[in-house]
């Protein structure tokens, strides 16, 4: 009997016992379906997280001060929520404009921009009964590039604004909606009270407000939402008296190896901080953060998939059990085949193929079910479903391997039957 005839015989046998075959496949279906659903959902989440973080700046490297006396990654904490202003750190420890100018000159071929910002404070702008909550932030011209700020009207701050210490501001569309409605905000003045200071700024640009997914998204209504108002860095320095920075963002040229770049910049700053007993610099790239998060998600994904795969073991035992039952029921058939010349190998192949067919059909149903469940889960989480071809091929191969592994013992038992005893079996 050739392979095609073995497959046809297996399908006829399964069709003759449809309910029993389905119940046998159920463990395989659940196991493969669970693994595929988890891997599909995990791939979708990994892709979504990577895309979101890449939108924050895949070429961004955060340079921040880190205390030599404290454990933990202060640089990461500052990148996630630090403001970059001098705070309570002594001026002698801060990253200065001189250091950054030296950095630009030393890494001219690798650096595209250096984004600098500093917080002035939180406050409000009011006009009659209208008000808008805000966070007043000093920023340089390159800040918009590093933070992917989308300008809707006007422009962002430029070098002339900074050099002249001008009292101009770039505000969010949310602030414009609260303060000006449909009126054109460009050229309008707002009185800002923030950080214990009151000043009047002229609006030169409006940017699109985007809630940060990494910080929990938007939780306040548009009316009470606090958004950033950007003013020239030099203007902010006059208000706060900041002499340097705790944190800046370095933007590398496309194609630069950020890991190698961060190591070189750390060595560069050793000449400024090697003798500083309190502080040093820490660099953290968005690329390394993406790799870390993706690795963590992958580990969790594999761990959960491994737990789900336990049901495959149960399914395999079910296949072995039903194959033993099938062999017992077909003892006379086996005896007849051996009596007319079928070899032990032919009998063994027949029943191994039948086990493989059971597992393969169950695996295909499980794959379809898993992709469907993974798609539904990804949809509920607001991400696009991603079922990789490698995952599907792995699941298919695994289901066939289960058939071989758990089908061999019953097949081998059938092959070793004595034809005379088999023919006399009732």
267 C-beta neighbours (distance < 10 Å), count:
9
Q: How many separate domains does the chain show?
A: 2
43 in a structural domain: yes
Overall pTM > 0.75: no
Q: What is the pLDDT of residues 29-87, one digit of tens each?
A: 888 888 888 878 877 777 666 666 555 556 788 898 888 776 444 444 444 444 445 45
Which residue range(s) make up the domain with 379?
A: 3-52+294-423
268 in a structural domain: no
Residue 68 — φ and ψ, nearest 5°?
Answer: -80, -10
Q: Are residues 179 and 326 in the same domain?
A: no
Q: What average pLDDT does this structure show over 298-314?
A: 74
297: tokens are: 């998600």
265 in a structural domain: no
Q: Are residues 227 and 312 in the same domain?
A: no
Q: What is the pLDDT of residues 235-285, one digit of tens each?
A: 999 988 888 898 899 988 888 888 888 889 999 999 999 888 888 888 887
DSSP codes of every residue in 63-87: EEEEESSS-S-HHHHHHHH---S-T
407 in a structural domain: yes
Q: Are residues 160 and 225 in the same domain?
A: yes
Residue 33 has a pLDDT of 84
Helix-strand-coil percent breakdown of the chain, rounded to 5?
55, 20, 25
Q: Are residues 134 and 233 in the same domain?
A: yes
253 in a structural domain: no
> Smallest Cα–Cα separation from 409: which of 342, 357, 355?
355
Strand partners, 132: 125
Q: Report the residue count for the chain.
A: 426
């Amino acid at each position: 009997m050739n392979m095609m005839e073995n497959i046809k015989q297996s399908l006829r046998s399964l069709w003759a016992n449809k309910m029993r075959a389905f119940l046998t496949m159920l463990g395989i279906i659940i196991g493969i379906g669970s693994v595929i659903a988890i891997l599909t959902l995990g791939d979708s989440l990994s892709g979504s997280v990577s895309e979101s973080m890449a939108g924050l700046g895949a070429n961004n490297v955060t340079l921040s001060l880190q205390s030599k006396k404290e454990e933990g990654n202060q640089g990461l904490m500052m990148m996630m929520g630090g403001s970059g202003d001098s705070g309570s750190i002594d001026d002698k420890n801060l990253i200065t404009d001189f250091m950054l100018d030296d950095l630009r000159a030393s890494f001219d071929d690798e650096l595209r921009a250096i984004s600098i910002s500093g917080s002035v404070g939180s406050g409000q702008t009011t006009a009659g009964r209208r008000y808008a909550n805000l966070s007043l932030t000093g920023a340089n011209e390159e800040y918009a590039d590093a933070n992917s700020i989308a300008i809707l009207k006007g422009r962002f701050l430029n070098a002339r604004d900074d050099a002249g210490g001008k009292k101009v501001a770039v505000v969010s569309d949310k602030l414009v909606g609260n303060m000006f409605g449909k009126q054109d905000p460009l050229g309008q003045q707002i009185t800002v009270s923030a950080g214990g200071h009151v000043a009047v700024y002229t609006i030169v640009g409006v940017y699109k407000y985007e809630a940060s997914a990494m910080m929990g998204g938007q939780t306040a209504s548009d009316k009470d939402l606090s958004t950033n108002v950007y003013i020239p860095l030099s203007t902010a320095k006059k208000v706060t008296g900041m002499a340097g920075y705790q944190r800046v963002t370095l933007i590398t040229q496309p194609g630069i190896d950020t890991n190698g770049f961060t190591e070189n910049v750390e060595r560069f700053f050793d000449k400024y901080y090697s003798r500083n007993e309190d502080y040093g610099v820490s660099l953290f790239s968005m690329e390394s953060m993406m790799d870390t998060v993706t690795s963590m998600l992958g580990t969790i994904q594999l761990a959960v998939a491994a737990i789900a795969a336990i049901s495959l073991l149960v399914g395999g035992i079910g296949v072995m059990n039903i194959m033993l039952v099938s062999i017992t029921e077909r003892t006379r058939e086996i005896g007849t085949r051996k009596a007319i010349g079928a070899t032990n190998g032919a009998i063994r192949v027949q029943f191994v193929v039948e086990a493989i067919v059971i597992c393969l059909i169950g695996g295909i149903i499980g794959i379809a079910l898993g992709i469907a469940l993974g798609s539904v889960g990804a949809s509920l989480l607001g991400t696009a479903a991603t079922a990789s071809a490698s995952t599907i091929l792995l699941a298919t191969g695994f289901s066939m391997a289960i058939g071989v592994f758990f089908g061999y013992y019953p097949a081998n038992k059938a092959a070793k039957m004595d034809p005379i005893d088999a023919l006399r079996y009732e």
